[in-house]
Amino acid sequence: MNATAIIPDGQRITFDGYDGADLVVKRINVWRDYDNRTHGFLCSVRHGHPGTLLERKGDACLVRVAWMGRSYEGWVTYWFLKELKSEWQLTRLMEETG
């Protein structure tokens, strides 16, 4: 398994704001354009909010999220998705322990 392992498109995901320490990012931005964030964000979700993974390209993940009664499709970094962060953490642990 590697840090870029792919979970199936269409899988339900959970937004995860833990930053690796004891802090939680309160608002996770869902961006219009991952590579050019000056285009702005569509919405912000909170830690624990559910969504759906639509596609992954490297670190960028296209997600669908319901927010304020509407559905949005935008981009986040894999690190903010619990299911992908867990894969990365497991890989790192396996590499450190040999």
pLDDT tens-digit series, residues 25-51: 889 999 999 999 999 999 999 999 999
CB 47 within 8 A of CB 26: yes
Residue 35 within any structural domain of the chain: yes
Q: Structurally, how many domains does the chain consist of? A: 1
Quick one: which of 23, 15, 82, 12 has its CA closest to 49? 15
CA distance 65 to 71: 6
Q: Is the pLDDT of residue 90 over 70?
A: no
Is 47 within a domain? Answer: yes
Name the band, by pLDDT with cuts 50, 70 and 90, for residue 6: low
**Domain interval for residue 69:** 12-97
